[in-house]
Amino acid sequence: MATIGADRPLVQASISSQNLPLVRRLEAVGFRAWPAASVQYDGSWQVRLTAGHPSNRLNSIVPLDPSDHRDVEIRLEKASRKFEAYGRAAVVRQTPLASPVLIELLSAQNWTRFDETVVMTCNLAEAELPDTLDHLPTHDVGRFVDANLAVDGAPPSLKPALAEIISAIKPPSGLFMIENAVEGPLATVLCVQDNDLAGIMSLSVCETRRREGLGTEILTSALRWARMRSARSAWLQVKLSNRPAIALYERLGFRGAYHYCYWQRESR
């Protein structure tokens, strides 16, 4: 069994053929919750590109059918050229929906695998949410974006792209912030409700205020908001290396559904 550090097992997430419909649905709601500026298709492959933002979720080749490996080498080269036109290194997102033939090709061509991530889900009807201070969502996208960038320590130059991404989200969204007059923004989270599914996006806590319960407080507010709007399940994505976040999510009832990672080829 793989481990995070030396003393804690990774979130386990085994996928059988019966689970693939769940993966397809969560991938689909994930695309709607974090929409790319440009989306093109090659068979069942989705090529997502967003010039103004570096997120791999917005800039990757996403295979969506394990049996789709026709002309895989030619198609991979063709898709990679689209990234070169954007001045980016090509990136492939590997989920259980990716063809093993494609993954073998990536390995043979010496692509680099990185960002091992788990998708976790929670049954909101059964979740026992802690009794924390409740926060209401804001409708001010600009204010939320400023807060999110400040908490993440991200460059202000990303504001136009991030504001455009959030404004392009079609399902109902809750923008949550914790801030005070002295320190400014302390924590942010975006919750996107897509019918009965609530996606937790961009949960961030100020580095100097972590381990004080702010993550629990703001995440609980978002989950309560989604449950009041009749969401039955919540989902999120977290890197396997982020041990504190995984521990928080597990305390609130989240469990691993499946893993994904990225492969990258350096720019030529």
pLDDT by 10-residue block (mean), the chain, 268 residues = 35 59 96 96 97 94 96 97 93 97 96 97 92 90 96 94 96 95 93 96 90 93 95 96 93 95 82
Count of other CB atoms within 10 angstroms of residue 32: 15
Question: 3-class SS at 259?
Answer: strand
Rama region for 152: left / alpha / beta (φ>0; ψ in -120 to 50; rest): alpha
Please give the Cα distance from 149 to 120 (Å, whole number).
24
Q: Please state whether the predicted TM-score (pTM) of the whole model is above 0.85.
A: yes
Question: Which tokens belong to 196?
Answer: 């009965």
Q: What is the pLDDT of residue 96?
A: 96
Question: Which pLDDT score, from 0 to 100, does residue 8 have?
Answer: 40
Answer yes or no: are the C-beta atoms of 13 and 119 closer than 8 Å: yes
